[in-house]
Structure 1
Amino acid sequence: MSTTLIRVVILFFISFSVAAQDLDSLLNMSAYTQESELQKVLNQNLTVSSAKALTTRETPGIISLITAEEIQNAGARDIIDILRLVPGFEIAQDLQFVLGMGLRGSWANEGKVLVMMDGQPFNELLYQGVALGNRFPVDAIERIEIIRGPGSAIYGGSAEYGVINIITKAADKLNGVHVFGVSGFHSNNIGRINGGVSVAQKKDNISWDLSFFKGKGIVSDRPFTDFNGDTTLSSLANVADSDPMNLNVGLKAKGFQIRGMYDEFKTSDPFTYVNFRNYAVDVKYDYKASKKLLITPQLKYYNQIPFQYGYFDTFTDVDGTVYEADEDYLKVRAERYYGSLSFVYDLSRKVNINFGGLYFQDKATDLLKSDYFGANKVSFNNVGFFAQSLLKHRLVNATLGFRYERNNAYGDAFVPRVALTKKIENLHFKILYSQSFRAPSIENINLAYEGKIKPEQSQVFETEIGYQFTPEMLLAVNVFSLRTKDVIVYLVSDDVYKNYPKSGSYGVEMVYSVRKSNWYTNLTYSFSRAGKSSDADPYEIPGLRDQYLAMTSHKFTLNTNFYINKSISLNPTFIGVGKRYAYTAPDVITKLDPYFLANVFLNFKEIYKGFTAGVGVYDLFNEKPSFPQGYNGDYAPVPGRSREFVLKLSYQLNFKK
């Protein structure tokens, strides 16, 4: 989107607002005396986009907030079901049936969207990707805070396009025991069987929590045609696993916090198996030096074996090396040692400053002792500084910040951030400008074209305007322009990562919410177009400049819930996605038809003293949307699941206060 068009949109918003009512009348409008059901959600304070807690309408980012109530009512099976209801998100394949995400019309899986659960990142260190699917314990989630836009100024080089911050019930709200399970059934196969338990105790000066989640599932139950046209697989149900496991432990004592997490995810395609293992320990201390100053030292350690894979059948590499069946082809230990010191200072009631520094070291060790990195080990050092200020004024909240990082392997990156936001009675607006970056990961550096790779840099303009027409109704519309240079792209044919000059997208997103005591509805629409000057060939569709591979230009969602009584709710959801394009064979581009997903879920809450049950059907009309590869990588689309019948059970016992 051109600068001229952005100015026209901003002027239109301003003119519309002024025409509707001048500033004095806005300031003098009477506030609603009683907080509505919608306002209870909108007025929640978030820190995902700023050091100082602000509501969703004033925080300096384009925000989506998904609550535990919405997740439970919709009967979400996994994180994919949740993200499909968020504007701008699309799910596609990376490779080897590992699913990842696109955002705002661009493939965004490697280092472009940061995914965290209870503060622990799920982006693996080797490629900075996040494997999706039957993975996250969605029934243990208290809320999900999503930045649909750049987050590098706060979170660094893994948050170029967005941030997904998952907070579990045990870590946040639970004071008791919560047991949950979900089963999914296709017509001829079991789709998944997952279960977990969470225990947490909250007291005034100390709290602890423990959660365990484990499951077994399949990627798909349908026939598969590979990139070379082989159709011998009549069903993927027995050859494409999707098995998660997560152990999560936390302790808080006054200002001291420690969290440990072990996460494992096993998946496979008909030819290869892929495993992810991640140990994480996070220790920090919030020291209240004075009424105005908070000092936080933090130490983290990650120990991963990410993207470990091998072949089910005997495989001969291009260099003549023969790998026997079920023998690892890649097995690397990746480690990160991280330390930071941050300061949050309230200069006054209206001025807040946050600043600090960080250092981390990444190490990689070839566990197969094959000199994969040219030696058995490699390591890289990174130092960074960040600062952000918030000025709260009666007319506008102004946020100004930056982040600077320097790595001994790929150089430095500097990203500034400016935001103007305000809620004035029923009206809110946001004008945002950010630069962001994707830091090259271990494998980006190791497989760099001619041994050179640079950080990917993006420039993002965003504006949002919203109006609360009644206490129960809100409409918000945002426009964005995203331009990326030095795009880090994987070239399958050469097995290298290379910087391409430019890429990007522009578009519009709309959210319309109505929430009353006995029902609510969320209607969203998102539109995106590929940047006209893009030259990242592996993402592009030959002969078509409007879209990138696997991404759609149009998506709408409708999530509606009806409380039939205090115990029973009915939740139909609808997701419509426009045409997409995919490579289905060498040099063959296929247009994938638009699809319309209809799901329905019936909840029975508090059937008996904390016991809840739910039943539903996903993909009611059996559309079976596939997951095309997000780039030209020699993989045919993964067939989507067929209609799935879902049963959920949970039990919660609350401790006495």
Structure 2
Amino acid sequence: MNYPRALVFIFLAIPFCVMANVDDEQHSLFSLPVEELLQLEVTVAARKNESWLSSSGTVYVIGKSEIENYGWRDLKEILASIPNMDYFYQWSWLPGGQRGFTGNMSGTLMLIDGREVQNLLANEAFIMNNFPASRIERVEVLQGPNSTLYGGNATQGVINVITRLGQGERELHLIAGEVGTKHAHLLVNHQYNTLSMALSASYFESDQDYDELRSFVMDPNDFSRNSKDALRDLNPNNFRNDEQSYTLDGKLDYRGFYVGMNISRSKNVSGIEAVAYDYITGDDSRRGYENYYLGKQIEFSDALRGSVEVSYFREYKEKDRLTTIVPDDAQTYQALIQYNEREDIGPSDRVRVNTQWQYQVDEQTDWVFGYDGWRTQIGRKVKYRDIAGQVVLFTPPEWAKDKEKSEKHALFAQYSKTVNWGSKSLKASAGLRYNQQDFTNSAYLPRASIVFQPNASESFKITYGEAFRPPTIFEFDLVVDDELESQTMKMSELNWSKSFSWNDIKLANIAAVYSMKAENFYEKILDPIAGTWQTRVTGEHTIMGFENQLKFQAQHWQGQISYRFVKPDEAQIGDIKEVLDIPVHKLKLGLVYRLSDTWRVAGFVDHWSKVYTQANNLLGDGTEVEQIPHWTTMNLHVFRQTKRYSFGVYIENLFDRSYYHSNARGTSPVRYLQAPRNLRLQISYKF
């Protein structure tokens, strides 16, 4: 989309008319993220409240004030601000990972208010447009493994989305943008004596069919390189990519008893990954998830307190698509024989019992311990084929029916001891989890850290952790193995965090160097004698890297500078070595300027270095190495905020650069085009 450049400067110039009214003493409407960070207690590293500076490991916190300043609409835009978060937006859900490890996001554990909402079918942190920013109070991201406290899938890190439930606010938030983008969110919090009630509800829809995207998917050189290309439907007007989603969060709390829910439903055309002959993967109704929980906070004494919680998690997936038979003499799309096919998986559900306790021995010593157990039932995969008006139902022979039911039991404990002398302190913590789970090996998972604070504004942290990801039902497809060993991750990390002032500028810095080693990849091989598929557990991949984030604040300015470096490494998978497609360098710059008591302008610059990726050969069989160019984009947010309302204009991809995310999960499509320049209006009202 090519807007006149004058339009950009109009939006830049609008707020400057109010600059003369700047009041240096009024800060109530201008957030102070550096000070908030230093005073903040986080929970993601230790499953208990602790200060950000003394928390073990590397923790990034993105608060509501930053989200409002930069104008981020949803969780994927928020995560883009973290220096060592990788994702590859393919216009549906987010594949990716952390610290250079990429895939289907199964190595990142997804939490809402500390409760796991990981996909049951494929262990994915399933992020679509179902996490609007107006739903979020803050996001805590732990880098590196922590299965000791969280169990499976926390091999690369943990994302904890803390909702605005219980924050005492009532708000209506609306967004309207191009390509039919609409979003509405309602937040209600109410307190009546000892009863608190909270509800958060949102709805999102978008066609997501930019003209540039339609043209891109018709280009077999840049996009697909698939054997289907010669027979595809090349009419861009038939391309669809619409999405709908809604979320519902609610909680009642009465004298320590609580009951709540997190519900997310999504319907999408599945983006532009693995599209069919008609350039549409199919209408994919994920139905998201439903998570209901009931619990009790218990306090026996000032020293011993904890909670007992029972939860029920349910998900469902259905997809409608055209299935194609290709006649031998087919030369055009019209010559294909197509019929409708529907695929259902589910419902799948999980009943879980979790209890966690904290025993405060004294002011410097405490224990965290607990039990986690669940019973999971994976729903049967069923396909419905409509051939000549006759519906045929069947389950694919490779579906692992005997792996649909499973149980897990785990015990965990973590000890923490702090020694103080003068202004200095040393905190040592060590934890261990024993995990027993059907169809995979039992495991002992340790985690240990030392945090040295020479003063109240600086800390040095050394952390060692291990984690695992159990196999999914898909990884038992067409195999004879009764048990598969889990994938594992080991990490060593050194972190330096510090807050300081320089020439009246307040700064807070996070720096970390690390080494992480993943082992036990799943490789499918065909037994030539038995004629059956088996899964071989093999391979390793080590990544070393550095990441840094500097936040700053000075009078009317605030912002951040972030950088990451990842040392490329060859992954050994079976007998094959390959370099995974990750950008070695990533640089991020965010700036917020307070024009007056109520007007602000913010910009965020994102830079990725070039990526080498493996893609199908355009001229024949096999693959070749392709380079995806480096890219730099800038997003702009101009807005006005008062105590009651705010409104603003957000411009994505301000200079209308064409840029691409690589495909981290295969050799076709080659890459994914990202959004051209577009505008959206954002309005919120507190009542």
Task: Give the TM-score normalised by structure 2.
Answer: 0.81
The letter for the 1-side match of 2:546 is V
In structure 1, which of residues 448, 455, 464 is the aligned counterpart of residue 495 of structure 2?
464
Secondary structure, counterpart of 1:411 in structure 2: coil
- Equivalence for 2:394: 370
| 3-state SS, counterpart of residue 662 of structure 2 | coil
Identify the match of residue 327 of structure 1 among 325, 337, 341.
341
Report the CA distance between 1:355 and its aligned residue.
1.0
Residue pairs, 1:331-346, within 5 angstroms: 331-346=345-360
C-alpha displacement at 1:633, in angstroms?
Answer: 5.4
Distance 2:372 2:33 in 1: 41
Query: Is the 1:51–1:344 contact (alpha carbons within 8 Å) kept by the matching residues of 2?
Result: no
Residue 16 of structure 1 corresponds to: none
Task: Show the counterpart of 1:601.
Answer: 637
The one-letter amino acid of 1:243's match is Q
Matched, 1:214 2:203: yes
Question: Does residue 521 of structure 1 match 2:532?
Answer: no
Change in CA separation of 1:386 and 1:634 when aligned onto 2, cut-off 3 Å: same
The count of aligned residue pairs is: 597
Residue 496 of structure 1, CA deviation: 7.7
| Corresponding residue for residue 415 of structure 2 | 389
Aligned match for 2:69, one of 68, 73, 88: 73
1:558-577 aligned within 5 A: 558-577=589-608
Change (3 A) 1:512 1:110: closer
Alignment partners' CA distance in 2, 1:141 and 1:202: 20
Q: Distance in 1 between matches of 2:155 and 2:117?
A: 15
The 8 Å contact of residues 130 and 264 in structure 2, kept in 1 or not, is answered as no
1:41 aligns with 2:79: no
* SS of equivalent to 1:38: helix
CA–CA separation in structure 1 for the residues paired with 2:182 and 2:238: 14
Tell me, in whole angstroms, the C-alpha distance in 2 between the residues paired with 1:232 and 1:345.
Answer: 64
Q: Deviations over 1:53-82 (max 9, x none)?
A: 211111012011001111111111322211
- Counterparts of 1:81 and 1:155 in 2: how far apart (Å)? 25
Contact persistence 1:400–1:417 (CA under 8 A): yes
Q: Would you say 1:639 and 2:673 are equivalent positions? A: yes
1 CA distance for matches of 2:237 and 2:576? 27
Which residue number corresponds to residue 455 of structure 1? 486
Tell me the SS of whatever aligns to 1:565: coil
Higher gyration radius (CA)? 2
Q: Could you say what secondary structure the match of 2:475 adopts?
A: helix
Counterpart amino acid of 2:252?
Answer: L
Q: In the aligned structure 2, how far is the partner of 1:130 from the partner of 1:581?
A: 26
Q: In structure 1, what residue type is equivalent to 2:80?
A: R
Do 1:614 and 1:649's aligned partners in 2 also have CA atoms closer than 8 Å?
Answer: yes
Aligned to 2:258: 257
Q: Can you list the C-alpha shifts for 1:338-357, whole angstroms capped at 9, x where unaligned? A: 11222211111111101122
Q: How do residues 203-602 of structure 1 correspond to structure 2 at under 5 angstroms?
A: 203=192, 205-219=194-208, 221=210, 222=213, 223=215, 224=217, 225=219, 226-228=224-226, 229=229, 233=234, 235=236, 238-268=239-269, 269=271, 270-277=280-287, 278-306=289-317, 308-314=318-324, 325-366=339-380, 368=382, 370-372=394-396, 373=399, 375=401, 378-394=404-420, 395-423=425-453, 424-446=455-477, 450=481, 452-470=483-501, 472-488=506-522, 498-532=536-570, 534-536=571-573, 541=578, 545=579, 548-549=580-581, 551-586=582-617, 587-602=623-638
Q: Secondary structure at the match of 1:333?
A: strand
Q: Quick check: 2:209–2:241 contact (8 Å CA) kept in 1?
A: yes
Matched letter for residue 381 of structure 1: E
Do the aligned residues in 1 keep the contact of 2:479 with 2:533 (CA within 8 Å)? no
- Are the aligned partners of 2:662 and 2:670 in contact in 1 as well (CA < 8 Å)? yes
What amino acid sits opposite 2:353 in the alignment?
A: G
Shift of 1:324: 6.7
Task: Pick closer, same or farther for the CA change 1:448–1:615 going to 2, 3 Å.
Answer: farther
What do residues 521-568 of structure 1 show as CA deviations (whole Å, max 9, x unaligned)? Answer: 110001112345x21379975xxx4xx12x211101011101111211
Q: Is the 8 A contact 1:106 1:504 kept in 2?
A: no
CA 1:446–1:413 in 2, change beyond 3 Å: closer, same or farther? farther
Asked whether the 8 Å contact 1:110–1:127 carries over to 2, the reply is: no
Shift of 1:203: 4.9
The alpha carbon displacement at 1:489 in A equals: 5.9
Deviation digits for residues 193-226 of structure 1, max 9, x if unmatched?
1111111113552211111111112455212133
- Residue identity (%): 19
Amino acid at match of 2:58: I
In the aligned structure 1, how far is the partner of 2:248 from the partner of 2:533?
35
Q: Cα 1:448–1:632, aligned 2, differ >3 Å: closer, same or farther?
A: farther
Deviation at 1:311, TM superposition (A): 1.6
Alpha-carbon distance, 1:613 to partner: 0.4
Pairing partner for 1:82 from 64, 78, 82: 78
What one-letter code is carried by the residue in structure 1 that aligns with 2:225? F
Structure 1 residue 463, shift from structure 2 partner: 0.6
One-letter amino acid of the structure 2 residue matched with residue 38 of structure 1: V
Moved more, 551-560 or 149-158: 149-158
Q: Against the structure 1 CA distance between its residues 375 and 89, is the aligned structure 2 distance closer, same or farther, given a 3 Å change threshold?
A: closer
**Aligned pair in 2 of structure 1 residues 331, 467: CA closer, same or farther (>3 Å)?**
closer
Letter aligned with residue 161 of structure 2: I
- TM-score w.r.t. the length of structure 1 is 0.85
CA 1:136–1:611: 2 relative to 1, 3 Å? same
C-alpha contact (below 8 Å) 2:352/2:373 kept by paired residues: yes
Cα distance change, pair 48–233 in 1 and its aligned pair in 2 (3 A):
farther
Q: For 1:39, what is the secondary structure of its paired residue?
A: helix
User: CA offset at residue 450 of structure 1?
Assistant: 4.7
Structure 1 residue identity aligned to 2:406: F
Cα distance change, pair 323–443 in 1 and its aligned pair in 2 (3 A)? farther
Deviation at 1:101, TM superposition (A): 2.2
The one-letter code sitting in structure 2 at the alignment partner of 1:390 is S
1:332 Cα deviation from its structure 2 partner: 2.6
Assess if the C-alpha contact under 8 Å between 2:166 and 2:198 holds in 1. no
Q: Is residue 614 of structure 1 aligned with residue 617 of structure 2? A: no
Contact 1:220/1:237 (<8 A) preserved: no
Deviation at 1:128, TM superposition (A): 1.1
Give the secondary-structure state (helix, strand or coil) at the position aligned to 2:661. Answer: coil
CA distance in 1, matches of 2:244, 2:562: 31
Residue 193 of structure 1 corresponds to which residue in structure 2? 182
Residues 243-279 of structure 1 show CA distances to partners (whole Å, capped at 9, x for unaligned) of: 2211111111121121112211222242323222211
Gaps of 5+ in 1: 1-34, 317-321
Q: Which amino acid counterpart does residue 342 of structure 2 have in structure 1?
A: D
1:613–1:648: 8 Å Cα contact kept in structure 2?
yes
Give 3-state SS (helix, strand or coil) of 2:660's partner. Answer: coil
The structure-2 alpha-carbon separation of the partners of 1:364 and 1:419, relative to structure 1 and needing over 3 Å to count, comes to: same
8 A Cα contact 2:465 2:490, kept in partner: yes
Asked whether the equivalents of residues 539 and 630 of structure 1 are also in contact (C-alpha less than 8 Å), the reply is no
C-alpha separation between the residues in 2 aligned to 1:576 and 1:380?
Answer: 44
Q: For each residue in 1:471-505, what CA deviation from the matched residue of structure 2 results, as whole angstroms up to 9, or x when unmatched?
A: 7112331101000111246899x998653321131
Matched residue, 1:174: 168
Residue 23 of structure 2 is matched in structure 1 by: none
The two structures, once aligned, show a CA RMSD in angstroms of 2.9
The one-character-per-residue Cα deviations of 1:340-380 (angstroms, maximum 9, x if unpaired) are 22221111111110112221111112163634545498201
1:48-197 correspondence to structure 2 within 5 Å:
48-92=44-88, 97-169=92-164, 171-175=165-169, 177-185=170-178, 189-190=179-180, 192-197=181-186
* Worse-matched range after superposition: 572-581 or 35-44: 35-44
2:406 counterpart SS class? strand
